[in-house]
Structure formats: C-alpha cells, structure tokens
Structure 1
C-alpha cells in the first residue's frame, strides 16, 4: 500500500509546475505580446529565473512539506533523474528559445537516454520500490541535527539541489539560445555524453551484480566479497561517478562551443561536490570493520575516478593487474 501511495505522490507532485507552464504558453500564444499581463511578459523574458521560481515553489517547498509529513526525503533522489528531462523540454519550448533543430533533438534524445538509464539504476537499487529509503547522507544529517533537522532539511536537501540541478542544466539553456549550425564540437560533445552514459550503466550494473551476489552468499552462510575490484572497478574506485561526470561535462562542451562558456559553472560545482561525496563514501567504507583493511589496499592500488592501470606496491603501474 505504501509503495502505491508513494508512486501516486511522485507522479502527481510535478503537476502544479506543468499546469502553470502550459497556462503560460497558452496565454503567450493566444495573445498579442503588447497586451500580455506583466507577469506573463516577465515569464517570457526570464526563462532561467522562471525555472528557478517553479523549482522553489514546486520542489523546494512542496517536496519539503511532503518530506516532513513522511519523515523521509526520498523523493528528491528520484527526481534527479526527471528534472533534467523537464528542463530540456522547458528550454526548448520556451517563447524565448531559438536553436538549431538537429542539435536540440540530439540533446533531448541524449537527456532521455541518460534519464532512463539513471531511473532504471535507481529502481533496480531500490528493489523496484517507490520511496523505500532516503539517501544515506540525509539520514546521517537527520541524526546529526536532531530536532533542528525539520528546517535545516529545507536548505540542505532541497535548496542545495536547486543550485546543483539548475546549474548543471545551464548548457541546455545555451543550446536553445543559439541557431549556429552543427560543427565538430557537437560531435565531440555527443561522443563524450554517450561515453558517460554507457560507462555509468556498466559501472552501476557491475555494482548491482556485486551487491546481489554478496546477498546470496550471506543467505547461504558463506563469506562475502569485501571489495568490488572487477570489471570497470578494477581501474577506478568510482567508475559510476566518472561516467556521470563525463555526461555533464559533455553537455558543457555543447554550451562552450556556442559561446556560452559560463555554463560550465554548474558542472564545476557538481564535480567539487562529488569529490566531497567521494571522501564521505570512502570514510564510510573504512568504518566497516570487516572490509576496512581490504579497502585500504584497494585505495592504494586503484585510481579514484579516472580509470587507470593498477598501482603496484612499489608505486609503479601494473598493466597486468
């Protein structure tokens, strides 16, 4: 019953923003611009500010209230896979948009593929349940801040996500503000984006198989494998993070090639944040007594993000490892 309730909440929660935006488009298309309500004029002239306004009302406040009612902030994790799709269609359909049709179609298609990949990974990890748990970082902060968490969560969970999501999707705005013809950089950006999606998919799949295999071993009363160091994880301690970063920086190449180099700022902030998260994840691994020693060895011989050859105990590359 809880699974169905969470599914209904997740599917209906973006409807206010969608309804508002469709109303705005209707008024804009059916009225003379000179006779538009001043608010509709503002909406048409400030696409990024309007995106932030909708995010503040529909995500920051509404998701926050739902999170307080349910005592869990699970939904923002799921919507990381949805909001970029909504944003790319928003920028493409906004009255202020002007763009090369083929570049727009490529980026929209890539964003959908990225989203489907990440959504599948999310539900696979959660055993196909809606809202089974919240991100462990939020759970840790809940314990840390105690009774103050109810208001701190508004900023730590939701406002922070607004900064990240609006920021990393800025190249989508740039793509729909330029009619420049396709060029070699579009090809490079597309290759980087596809490589990121594929890399992250295989990394997440190998991690999921590792978790499932260990679960079966535990049920059989047999020793589990403490560290995943096979496949892509042989060459990188966080290949899933690396793949995700390739995707976002691939979008930056699109924006940069169109003269919107400043759109890199969102991906830079996201990468810096992910670097911090990487430290937290590894500290968490080292706190687990049964795997700490093995993971320390793994850290000494394996690259953090960028896939590379194993490092031998003598500090040299080991191409056969």
Structure 2
C-alpha cells in the first residue's frame, strides 16, 4: 500500500471515535425518551453539557489521537486538513444535540454556507499539495521543529493541537448559537449571508490566482528561465493578503448570525483568530524578505499595497522614487 493511500485511510478513520460515541449517545437518549426510562449518569451529563462534551471529544480525538499519529508519522499534516472539516462536524453536532433548538431555515442556510466554505478550502488544500494526502506539514510547524529541536515532541502537543482547540471551538461558537436560539429570519440574516459569501468568493479567487502564479513560476524554473519575483496582479494588486482577508470575512459573517440572535459576545473567537492571522501575516512577510530574488520587489510591494483590506495602490512611493 502506498504512503498516499495509507494516509488517506488514516484521515478517514481518525474521526470515528468521536462520531461513534456521539451516535451511541443519541441512540441511548432516543431510547430513553421512547421507553420513558432514565438515562445513566454519563448520558445525562452529555445531554446537560453540549459545549463541554464537544471540547472533551476534541481533546481526546484531535489533541491526543492526532498528536500520537503525528509522532508516529513524524509529521503534523492532518490538523491542517481537518481545519476544513471540523467546522462542518461541529455544526451537525450542535444541530443534532438533544438541547438543540433553532429555526430550521437558518440552520439550513448556515450549514450550506459552511459546506461551501469547507469544499473550497479542501479543494485548495489538495490543489496546493498536488492532490497528495499529507505530502508536507505546515511550514510554521517545520520552523518550530527546527527551533525547539528535541523538545518539539511535547511542545507540539500544545502549539499544534491544544491551541487549535481554542481557535476552532472559539471561531465556531456562532454555529452553536445558530442551533441554540429559535428566532425568525430577518434582514440581518441576509447581510450575514452576503458577508459570508463575499469572503468565500474573495478567498477562492485569491487562492486560485496564487496557485496559478506558483505553477507558472515552477514551469519557468524547469525551463531555466527567471521566475517572476512577486504576485501583484488581480486581487493581489489591491491587497498583499487577499486570501486572508476573504477568510476573515467568512468568520466575521458567522458572527453577524450570532449577533442577530442576541449573542454578539461570540465575536471573541473571530477576534482571536484575526489577531493570530495578523501575526501569521508578519511571519509570511518576513519569510518573503528572506528570499533574495524577491526582496527588492517585495519591499516596493509592501510600500504600495494594502496589507489586508483591498484598496487602490499608493502612488506616493512611486512618485518619491522618480524624484530621487
């Protein structure tokens, strides 16, 4: 069996413990309702604490199991792939939980949007990895592996997995609220849909333009021709990180759904994620400036192009450059 097939099999099997546990819990709950019999203390706790249960399942199935598999494979590639899947799973968890109460059409709309977001991100992941499962792990994990050396095996549990639990559960809080409050649809739901869709579309075109740019440069390199040092066309001509901007629009669009249902506090998850992405932006730009062939072009790009929010190029630098 090839390495690619083995990793695909692992990726499909790894969420089964959580899925089977949750289905068993639902079966016991439904049986107790039908037979008018009391639930055991374990299943009663699962009914009464949906957020705690999902955090416990995440800790056991993702933090511990993914981490163990990552140690065996010497690569923490799987969490990157499951970023595209876990929000969908969380949405269905909240919808199917016995305490779930919600407007059916709002749930359908939000879950449809989440599926579209997930499929876009999953497609981009495999396109970037040349349709291989776990071909490489996130470059940030590689950098930390080199930085922490022999201590990386235990530090990775906190930096790769436990931190992901905070981010993922946090940014998906609006999915919990959508499936916890029953309130008629209104105009704010339409606004939230527009924001979410805008984010998905922007991220898709930004990632596609980046993929095409990288592919062209790879072909030029194969032909022994000079590569283009920097992508500054399309959406990348208005923002240095339009893919990040689109991704943030998506998460903040979900916050609007929750705010409309009286739970604006859920913005905390999106805010923490945005702050984290701001830090990642700095790391990405530092990485760009370490590549000699693109330093000069990227410095000009930094001075003329907006960081996140798409905007027209600044002409002040170009004017100053001509006058010197």
- TM category (shorter chain) comes to over 0.9
Q: How does 1:25-64 map to 2 (within 5 A)?
A: 25-32=26-33, 35-64=38-67
Asked if the contact 2:230–2:297 (Cα under 8 Å) also holds between the matched residues in 1, the reply is yes
What is the match of residue 17 of structure 2? 16
Cα offsets for 1:215-263 (capped at 9, x unmatched)? 0011111111000000000000000000000000000000001011111
| Residue among 138, 150, 153 paired with 2:153 | 150
Moved over 4 A (4+): none
Deviation at 1:7, TM superposition (A): 0.2
Establish whether residue 289 from structure 1 lines up as the match of residue 292 from structure 2. Answer: yes
Q: 1:65 aligns with which of 64, 68, 77?
A: 68
Residue of structure 1 equivalent to 2:204:
201
One of 243, 250, 257 as aligned partner of 2:246:
243
Residue 34 of structure 1: how far off its partner (Å): 6.2
Say if 1:239 and 1:10 are closer, same or farther in 2 by CA, change over 3 A.
same
Question: TM-score, structure 1 length as denominator?
Answer: 0.97
Instruction: Report the 3-state secondary structure (helix = DSSP H, G, I; strand = E; otherwise coil) of the residue aligned with 2:292.
Output: coil
Report the CA distance between 1:315 and its aligned residue. Answer: 8.3
Give CA-to-partner distance per residue, 1:112-150, whole Å, 9 cap, x none. Answer: 000000000000000000000000000000000000000
- Find the partner of 2:187 among 172, 184, 189: 184
Distance 1:93 1:233 in 2: 41
SS at match of 1:216: helix
Report the equivalent of 2:171: 168
Q: CA deviation at 1:42?
A: 1.0
Aligned to 2:322: none
Aligned to 1:82: 85
**Contact 2:304-2:317 within 8 A present in 1 as well:** no
Q: Which residue of 2 aligns with 1:6?
A: 7
Gaps of 5+ in 2: 320-324
Match of 1:108 in 2: 111
Distance 1:137 1:56 in 2: 22
CA distance in structure 2 between the partners assigned to 1:167 and 1:315 by the alignment: 42
Q: Is the deviation greater in 37-46 or in 54-63?
A: 37-46
Residue 313 of structure 1: CA displacement? 2.9
1:23-80 Cα distance to aligned partner (Å, 9 max, x none)? 0000001114761011111111111111100000000000000000010000000000
Residues 77 and 187 (structure 1), Cα distance of their counterparts in 2 relative to 1, 3 Å cut: same
Secondary structure of the equivalent of 1:290? Answer: helix
Paired with 2:69 and 2:185, the residues of 1 have a C-alpha distance of 44
Partner Cα distance (1:95, 1:259) in 2: 21
SS in 2 for 1:174: helix
The reply to whether residue 306 of structure 1 matches residue 285 of structure 2 is: no
RMSD of the TM alignment (CA)? 1.0
Match of 1:136 in 2: 139
Match of 2:97 among 76, 81, 94: 94
